[in-house]
Amino acid sequence: MKKLFLIILSFCLMLFAVSCQKNAIPSMAGAIDAGNEEAQLVSDPLITDPNPINETQPTGSDNEAVSAPEADTGGNESDPTHTGPKDPYASIQNQSTGTTSPSAIEYLYEEEISEEEIARYASLIPDEYKTLSYYYPEKAKRYVKYNELNPGLGYGKSILYVNIGLDKPFYSNIKTITEPDRIDVLVNKYNKLPGSFSPRLVELPSELCAEGVGKQYLRRDAKEAFEKMHRDAKEFGLNITAFGTYRSIQVQNYIWDSKINSGRTIEDVDKLNSRGGHSEHHTGLAIDVIKNSYVVESTREFEWYKDNAHKYGFIIRYPKGKEHITGYQYEPWHLRYLGVELATSVYESSLTYEEYYALYIEPGMRSCFNAHPKP
């Protein structure tokens, strides 16, 4: 009897174990799936992103761009006054605070200076430079100090470089752009887009995109110009494709933070990666063509577009040998849309866009502001 009881007990225990194992299998599978999903969510922006270096960072924006673009309504996006303040000088205004990462480590260098001090420093600057359209009396002290540190430049270039912001470290004395939809908007390490900025975008046809990069988006005017350049290049047997286009500020913040969290220093990351709000890719006017690699320079496509892109409204935004001005390494693949007239002027000047903007665009804005001051 006792033996029979033990047999029955063993049989019941075996049935119970089998039942537990069956119930455990789906839970284990779910845990594995959840783990894979979590890993994919974390790593996708770094794995799928087509832009591994410099200003054209890994974006991971293929998925981001699907939901991020605001529907295009057919408006004239080339109109500088399409949105934002009507005052042209208001396109850049001082940012007084930095409260979010990475802006929390920004330094502000604007300083109060009396009329007497302005006059004292201005007296040290030769008169011929004070007649320049891009000479601003309130910056006289900075002009003098920078020229003292760089006597070989001469006052003409010292004044220009100070106006760009180069007398201060990159990502300091940052100004927030208040007319981000302007076709000539200057986005760099001194000028950032508002955190809420989201341009109206249209999707590029798949045949205009490099293989495997996913959906790509540009502003309508930039997209139409790129389509024309692509078609015209085809007539010469060339295939100029979009490798990377729009990237949201949120994705750029994620990229920057992930680089810091990987153990790299802020200084190291800033040499290669834009901070959120400071990338031209946020505007929908920037496009990385073919591949973001220096192998681009060995292609027939590069040989053609380096001398013809301006005819369609594009410039090579980060030229060779100008790293100290742009803050980014040479990027032969990174094109910026400015419209045909402006792009041609920049191309023919052989200047960086920072230099051209400080020499010709900003003075015009100031002149207009002085002619029509705010009440």
The pLDDT value given to residue 3 = 52
Instruction: Calculate the average pLDDT of the chain.
Output: 77
Q: What is the DSSP string of 294-320?
A: GGGGGSHHHHHHHHHGGGGTEEEEE-T
The whole-angstrom separation of Cα 227 and Cα 303 is: 19
C-beta neighbour count of 154 within 10 angstroms: 12
- DSSP class of residue 357? I
Give the CATH number of domain 60-83+183-371.
3.30.1380.10
The pLDDT value given to residue 267 = 82
**If you average pLDDT over residues 119-134, what whole number do you get?**
96
% of residues, the chain, pLDDT over 70? 68
pLDDT per position as a tens digit, 38-80: 222 222 222 223 333 344 333 333 223 333 344 343 333 333 2
pLDDT at 260 over 60: yes
Query: By the 8 A CB rule, do 323 and 45 touch?
Result: no
Burial class of residue 180 in the structure, from the number of CB atoms within 10 Å of its CB (0-12 exposed, 13-18 middle, 19+ buried): buried
The 10 Å CB-count burial string (b at 16+, else e) for 57-89 is bbbbbbebbeebbeebeeeebbeeeeebeebbb
pLDDT per position as a tens digit, 159-201: 999 999 999 999 999 999 989 999 999 999 999 999 999 999 9
pLDDT per position as a tens digit, 285-311: 999 999 989 999 999 999 999 999 999
The pLDDT value given to residue 292 = 86
